[in-house]
Amino acid sequence: MELLHQSHIQSFEHISNIGGKEFQLFYMEPLSVLYPVNTLGENMYVAKNLTYWEAVHEFSIHGKGVAALSNRSLVDDAYRMIANESSVRDLMFITVNGWQTLLPVIQSLSEMNEATIREYSKNGEIVAYVDIALCVSMLLAIGMFQKRMLTHLADRVDFKLLTCEIAFGMSHKTRRKLRSRYRSLWRKLNVGDAHNA
């Protein structure tokens, strides 16, 4: 198991920052794991210091043993058969170490992950604001370019041709409304000219 542990640490060193909190918690910080033993008919625990990785490995091994637990052992409230059945020792190991040892470490790892996710979300917000600023500046630049082009183009446009093309592009109903509007304006202008003369 020590060889597997060392190869796992070497793999982890290649892909992560060796000085990180997660690495220290995962590989270096010792955890006191309790192993159940039966001495002279008494249930006792022997403490052994393991890293988190080793403790999770032990937890999975004992979890496999719990799967083989018989119904007869579950009925015994005091787990008196600890010397006779290894799956009862596995159950005691998981029960004691799950709450006392592994759960606080898993909670602290979860808090570290949440802090990392919050940091990434702040970076994401910054990227989104930069993206919005770039889009707005690009739209302003395009608008200024179009305005400048239209002012240069307005001097060269044949307005009579453009007016005819616009009129031919309109629907018949819209042309009729515009014609009646301009006719009424023309009549008012003619009446005003005749009145002034």
Q: What angle do CA 35, 38, 42 make, to 5 degrees?
A: 115
What's the pTM value of the predicted model, to 2 decimals?
0.45
pLDDT attached to residue 136 = 94
122, 101 Cβ separation under 8 angstroms:
no
pLDDT one digit per residue (tens) for the chain, 197 residues: 567 666 766 666 665 555 566 666 666 677 778 887 766 566 678 888 887 777 878 888 888 887 877 776 666 665 555 545 677 778 878 888 877 777 787 787 788 878 888 888 888 889 899 999 999 999 999 999 988 887 777 677 777 777 777 877 888 888 888 889 888 888 888 776 655 65
